[in-house]
A and B are shown apart, each in its own frame.
Chain A
Amino acid sequence: MKYYTRRIVFYVLTLWVAISLNFLLPRLSPGDPAQIMIDKMSRGGEVTPEQIATIQRLFGGDSDQSLWDAYVQYLNQVIHWDLGTSVTKFPAPVTELISQALPWTIGLVGLATVISFLVGVGAGAIIGWRRGTWVDHIVPSTTLIQSLPYFWLALLLIYLLAVQNPVFPVGNGYDIREFGGPEWSWAFVGDVIYHGTLPALTIVISSVGGWLLGMRNMMVSTMSEDYIVTAEAKGLRKSRILMTYATRNAALPSISGFGITLAFVVAGSIVMEQVFSYPGLGKLMITAVRGNDYALMQGLFLVITLTVLAANFIMDIVYGFIDPRTRSNA
């Protein structure tokens, strides 16, 4: 129990750091941050009075407010889930835009990551188990696939499977001509899956190699452990040894390292969503940055961080469940 409490405390602290970063970053350059932003935006076009008001609210336009007060005010806003108003899609509140995009990202990226993890770890286990055979030679080739930039792979897939051979759609989450907006119908769901295949494929192809390699290395190490010899001497079935003795131990680092790998997946999917014009958090973030929509951008940063922390915590629970040493060690 203590283990879980420690983790939660850590995540809360991290979130606080992220929020504080959000507050500090715009204020790092000298001068009134609000004015700098407004200047930046006016370079791109006209700035409406509403936009100015939003900026000032976000960055504390009143210069007689102390930094500490502004900080507390900002913390307050965030805790009450007030992330400001978007500038590019004025007057939609940031939270509304984010909640529209969130399900797309979680659905696509989440599902694809889970598939990639399971396939990678499973294949890695089998390859590690059958070490010294021809399957060993597959391993170096996975490094080539892994070094491909996510978005380049996406471009390639689009080129091959959507432009040259129109098997899949070029982009978007769903066919905007057919459906006015998201609706609960089988046709819509089917269309979503259709549109989501190439993006999902990109994620899976790019990230499966890492898990495969890690698991394979761990398996090779684990296979020489004493308890494996004991299991064999006990005359246990190969499947049991593979599953309960070898894999269960070898998978531990993969699970604990999931959080870090997730960071790469998140990074890659932001760019990938841009390539596919997929209506998720990533594309929204790019739109925000390009449109100097700082409220939206910072809000997205917080939400993405929160999602990653949540995923990490889920993995912590899984790890604690599998490895009894964590439970008693704390």
Chain B
Amino acid sequence: MSAELTSDQTVGVTPEPVLTARNVSIEYEVDPVVKAVKDVSLTLNRGEILGLAGESGCGKTTLAYGLNRLLKAPALMTSGEIVFHDRSGEDVDVRALDGDGLRAFRWDKISMVFQGAMNSLNPVISIRAQLHDVLTTHRPGMSKDEKEARSVELLTLVGVDPSRINSYAHELSGGMRQRVMIAMALALEPQIMIMDEPTTALDVVVQRGIIREIMRLREQFNFAVVFITHDLPMLLEISDRIAVMLQGEIVEMGTAQEIYRNAQHPYTRKLLSSFPSLTGTRGDFVRRGDSTEGAA
């Protein structure tokens, strides 16, 4: 990871909120009850990349699912307010959405790219069917040819050969599957994309390609991204702001620069120093915990 962050990271961010979450608490109704997310508040600005970092089990994924109303039993959102600020100026109370309203909201305003596209694609229908059905449901006016054209356009956007539209999930490599997932997520030109560890299961080289694709698309379409990962150095590279989560709470939030240079919370500092660097003397990390990242 590079030692220096340039100020280019802040291009495209307008400090205008697109999603406001206040006092969100989510618990798992098991025995004993597990409080996965404790009174979390955050604001996502239009077009920005917000990184959500933390180790496994800290609640970042649960929070993301909660934002999109995708929580599955035994998870239950016990309190909180989530407001989506549409481009048109209208404010949507996400928690109050129901039935058809919720369905229309999903994917159109907020879409998701899940962890490990291994299993996120339906194995028994073709890629074409899965790209088309989003369009069929949300844009009922589109003709079959229009849907096909759009699907081809989406695949080209993410760098997948459009002829693969006939393929099935098992015929694609991991990287390609993830790109298809991203193409699907872009289909309705959402205003927010939540990405949950989208590259964790991929090779490092492929990972870089995907990240670059995401950055490029974000520049082109200006959607906000909530990027969830445990890979803090990557977030430092690409995020505008970063929130660090520990045991269900946000312990630190700031711009990437601030976190990199001047992390306040001891956990953040610990996270930062846990990654060996490519530069620096060999053995430094193991012996002394030295890395070129980390607060001065």
A–B interface present (Cβ within 8 A)? yes
Chain A residues proximal to chain B, CB less than 8 Å: 132, 224-227, 229-237, 240, 244-245, 248-249, 252, 322-325, 328
> Which residues of chain B are within 8 angstroms of A322 by Cβ–Cβ distance?
124
Please name all residues of chain A whose beta carbon is closer than 8 Å to the beta carbon of B121 when the two chains form the complex.
227, 230
5 nearest A-B residue pairs (beta carbon): A235-B106, A226-B119, A235-B103, A324-B168, A235-B107
B170 / chain A contacts, CB cutoff of 8 Å: 324-325, 328
Q: Chain A's nearest CB lies how many Å from the CB of B128?
A: 12
Contact B168 A244 (CB under 8 A): no
B105 contact from A231, A235, A244, Cβ within 8 A: A235
Chain B residues with CB below 8 A from A235, complex form: 102-108, 134, 137-138
Binary CB contact string for chain B from 102 to 130 against chain A (1 if under 8 A, 0 otherwise): 11111110011010101111111110010
Asked if residues A234 and B137 are in contact (CB atoms below 8 Å), the reply is: yes
Closest A residue by C-beta to B171? A328
- The residues of B that contact A229 with a CB separation of less than 8 Å are 70, 72, 114, 120
Whether B68 is near chain A, meaning CB under 8 Å from some CB there, is yes
Chain B 124-157 interface 0/1 with A at a Cβ cutoff of 8 Å (1 = within)? 1110010001100110000000000000000000
- Since A233-B114, A236-B103, A324-B124 are in contact, a sample of 20 more A-B pairs with Cβ atoms closer than 8 Å, ordered by chain A residue number, is A226-B118, A226-B119, A227-B119, A229-B72, A230-B120, A231-B122, A235-B102, A235-B103, A235-B107, A235-B108, A236-B134, A240-B133, A240-B137, A244-B122, A245-B122, A249-B123, A324-B123, A324-B170, A325-B123, A325-B124
Nearest to B65 among chain A residues (CB) is: A229
Chain B residues near A245 (CB-CB < 8 A): 122
CA distance in complex: A295, B116 (Å): 61
Nearest chain A CB to B69 CB, angstrom units = 9
Known A229-B114, A325-B168: A234·B120 in contact at CB below 8 Å: no
A236 touches B119 (CB 8 A): no
* B interface size (C-beta, 8 A): 34
**CA of A247 to CA of B68, assembled, Å:** 25
Q: Is the CB of A323 within 8 A of B106?
A: no
B73 at interface, CB cutoff 8 A: yes
A322 to B123 alpha-carbon distance, docked (Å): 10
Closest residue of chain A to B112 (Cβ to Cβ) is: A233
Chain A proximity of B122: nearest CB distance (Å): 5
Q: In the assembled complex, which residues on chain B have CB atoms less than 8 Å from the CB atom of A225?
A: 119
- The residue that B70 contacts in the complex, of A232, A236, A252, A328, with Cβ under 8 A, is A232
Contact check, A230 vs B123: say whether CB atoms are below 8 A apart.
Answer: no
Chain B residues lying within 8 Å of A226, measured Cβ to Cβ, are 114, 116, 118-120
Instruction: Please give the residue numbers on chain B whose beta carbons come within 8 Å of chain A beta carbons, in ascending order.
Output: 68, 70, 72-73, 102-108, 111-112, 114, 116, 118-126, 129, 133-134, 137-138, 168, 170-171, 181, 184
Given A230-B114, A233-B70; A248-B119 close (CB under 8 Å): no
- Of B106, B112, B124, B137, the residue contacting A248 (CB under 8 A) is B124
Given the interface pairs A132-B73, A226-B114, the reply to whether A234 lies near B184 with Cβ below 8 Å is yes
Closest to A231 in B: B122
* B125–A244 CB distance below 8 A: yes
Chain A, Cβ-Cβ closest to B105: A235
A238–chain B nearest beta-carbon distance, Å: 8
A247 to chain B, nearest CB (A): 10
CA A237 – CA B137 in complex, angstroms?
7
Are the CB atoms of B124 and A236 closer together than 8 Å? no
Q: Tell whether, in the assembled complex, residue A233 and residue B111 are in contact, meaning their CB atoms are under 8 Å apart.
A: yes
Give Cα A250 to B119, complex, Å.
Answer: 14
- Contact across chains for B103 and A237 when beta carbons are under 8 A apart: yes
